[in-house]
Structure 1
């Protein structure tokens, strides 16, 4: 029997491991079920289609005891959104039965792990369900297909292009799904390693380590993993997982230390207290440096001086979105409403007496990054001294209206 390392109070709650990932989860799930050392397991298998193919494979090859264990199929939707209420109800029901040692959840390939984790950490007021009373989220696992990762990461396809969207409003790109799955987890399983050369595996692992510094990375072939690596780990911590993405870690560093640069994988923060010229910034985006694997941050755009913008890039996909108003752009009445004071409100270390919290701050992660060239080319996108004195609203702004 696997030993739970947690204290008695936490150990009394039914532990849960969630498997996420675009490809390869069912093979790993079946291997764990065949090597679970006597644990009585309830399994929830989520499939977007009407026919739950993965559940059928688990029934056929997972070795579940029909008398002591249970398989719950959740089909025709995703547990991170449309089937979230169903997930709450099913998990509560399984926990209250009191006959299981563990719950294993296989999320659909297009599922995002963060909303699933929230299901276990927040009270659902509408249904009156608090899963934290009966269960504890033990481990969030993301499976990465080592053979196909770069093909999917560099595709321009959306989930809709592949007929895998969760609904009509699902506009997500494949690469952003992969990134969301990697950046929120406790364990990264790098599967199908037998189909990739050692040098390519080393490079991929270093990239994943930079994207997700907190997670343990485990290499597997044909889904063969020691169950102890993902069961009864005590690894999950919602706050730590929420802050574990590489770009967040980079922004929080007081001083950058290039641990991985010797392997060609590196990251840096580009930070400036001067806005981008909108037209030059769009031109820069169209000449995107191919060595950048991931970037994210906040933008100050001159022609839209009062509004902050978030920028996110993964692979060939780049997204610009509104991030609300700069604090410095709020009226005295708005500051009073938001902060209970017109003058005394929280100011970051980047606060400037003239421009307030307006700033450009971008994290870049990539392979063989030329920090000097990227920074210098971005500096040429900033307003010149003469442009700083001009009417910014009159600048040509071809960026999408957001």
Structure 2
């Protein structure tokens, strides 16, 4: 059994930042998101807002609009080489941000994303795509990723089993994402959440949505706007120049592996909302886990995390559920299954998290799952998951026996001989 990986040295704090700031607004309901954008423009006449209309994207055409508080500055149709979101980001969004910064020195920017665009895709493009040979972050400081949620429609969206293609709003011909997945990812990547308006079911339901969002994204700052009377100056203080964005923070599938919180354990219902965290060291028996998959998420709005199966002890298995669909996939190797000379290729935060909880027998392998829903029975859920773990007798049989178990998941999470953990690029697939 390998020893614990050596913890990395802490990073050095950065100097004060003087670049103009960029606030990224996302949200599935454009009316609510644009209302927030207009309020920010009203509070700061120097602010510039960039929007893209993707209605014609599948034909390779988009519309770019730049606004200030005084009105429209630009309104142009743009032809793309390929009609897709990544091409839009690479070919027009990022170059336009750079151009606006250079032609309007000292003016901050707001980027309002189309409703089907996930903010994590923008963050990845800002890091990896170059404009004039350099990343845009050389010129612009990404201050915050803000997601705006419409209280009237949020719960219906989270419970929806529709995909974007069925709704006719897909961003590409091969875009088969579920509506609920898009909304969930907009919520979970944000560092700031704004709940706009009121639920049509009344004040209690609005409060329940507030609690639900706090459970789904406990790492974010949360604000409520009633939608009728907006204090633009107060909203600006809440949303701009907050320095909330931390580019080093991983996406939700990698959070638990890198030692970040995946959720909060709040088993007592608050407005009916329950959040329960399941942690364990023992592996799951593949057949017993498979037999309860449908039951586990019956009352759940969102579940996420990672796990390990006795039959596949080298693989970190991703788990995420939203909108009635469970997706599972490979997140690479557990460190304990890798030669020590390959640990240096794993990110520092990942090695530090493993070092802090290293077990002499299991190494860094563990179960870490979070379930969030309305009127969920956390005790029953914990008991069901615990019953799926190996018993003492099964544990004593050892790893060679575990690998021979009948496995409904066989072949679902392949690992290549040279594969390293890369939780930024690998994702879950429908189970």
TM-score under structure 2 length normalisation: 0.75
Matched, 1:111 2:121: no
Distance 1:96 1:357, change over 3 A: same
2:335 corresponds in structure 1 to 327
Return the offset for 1:78. Answer: 6.0
Partner SS, residue 44 of structure 1: strand
Distance 1:241 1:219, change over 3 A: farther
Q: 1:364 aligns with which of 371, 375, 383?
A: 371
Partners of 2:186 and 2:177 lie apart in 1 by 13
Cα RMSD between the aligned structures? 3.8
Q: 1:279 aligns with which of 279, 282, 287?
A: 287
Q: 2:25 aligns with which of 8, 19, 26?
A: 19
Q: Is the 8 A contact 1:295 1:365 kept in 2?
A: yes
1:293 corresponds in structure 2 to 301
- Which sits farther off after the overlay, 376-385 or 258-267? 258-267
- Cα displacement string for residues 314-348 of structure 1 (whole angstroms, at most 9, x for unaligned residues): 24221101111222223xxx4324449xxxx8643
Unaligned stretches of 5+ in structure 2?
1-14, 346-350, 414-431
2:425 corresponds in structure 1 to none
Return the offset for 1:254. Answer: 12
2:226 corresponds in structure 1 to 220
Q: Is the 8 A contact 1:47 1:78 kept in 2?
A: no
2:403 corresponds in structure 1 to 393
- Counterparts of 1:146-295 in structure 2, within 5 Å, are 146-193=151-198, 195-213=200-218, 214-221=220-227, 224=230, 226=232, 228-230=234-236, 233-239=240-246, 242=249, 248=255, 252=260, 258=266, 261-295=269-303
Partners of 2:263 and 2:71 lie apart in 1 by 54
Q: Is the 8 A contact 1:165 1:171 kept in 2?
A: yes
Distance 1:119 1:368, change over 3 A: same
1:3 corresponds in structure 2 to none
Matched, 1:355 2:362: yes
Distance 1:74 1:26, change over 3 A: farther
Q: Is the 8 A contact 2:118 2:182 kept in 1?
A: yes
- Which sits farther off after the overlay, 138-147 or 123-132? 123-132
- Counterparts of 1:29-178 in structure 2, within 5 Å, are 31-32=38-39, 35-37=42-44, 39-50=45-56, 64-65=70-71, 69-71=73-75, 82-98=88-104, 101-120=107-126, 122=127, 124-125=129-130, 127-178=132-183
- Cα displacement string for residues 85-107 of structure 1 (whole angstroms, at most 9, x for unaligned residues): 42221111111112673322221
- Counterparts of 1:303-314 in structure 2, within 5 Å, are 303-314=311-322
How many residue pairs match? The answer is 380
Q: Is the 8 A contact 1:189 1:219 kept in 2?
A: yes
1:382 corresponds in structure 2 to 389
Q: Is the 8 A contact 2:187 2:193 kept in 1?
A: yes
Distance 1:285 1:194, change over 3 A: closer
Partner SS, residue 267 of structure 1: strand
- Cα displacement string for residues 93-152 of structure 1 (whole angstroms, at most 9, x for unaligned residues): 1111126733222211111112323445x3745741332343222332211121111111
Partners of 1:254 and 1:144 lie apart in 2 by 21
Partner SS, residue 385 of structure 2: helix
Return the offset for 1:54. Answer: 8.5
Distance 1:226 1:249, change over 3 A: farther
Partner SS, residue 205 of structure 1: helix
Q: Is the 8 A contact 2:277 2:368 kept in 1?
A: yes
Return the offset for 1:304. Answer: 1.6
TM-score under structure 1 length normalisation: 0.79
Partner SS, residue 152 of structure 1: helix
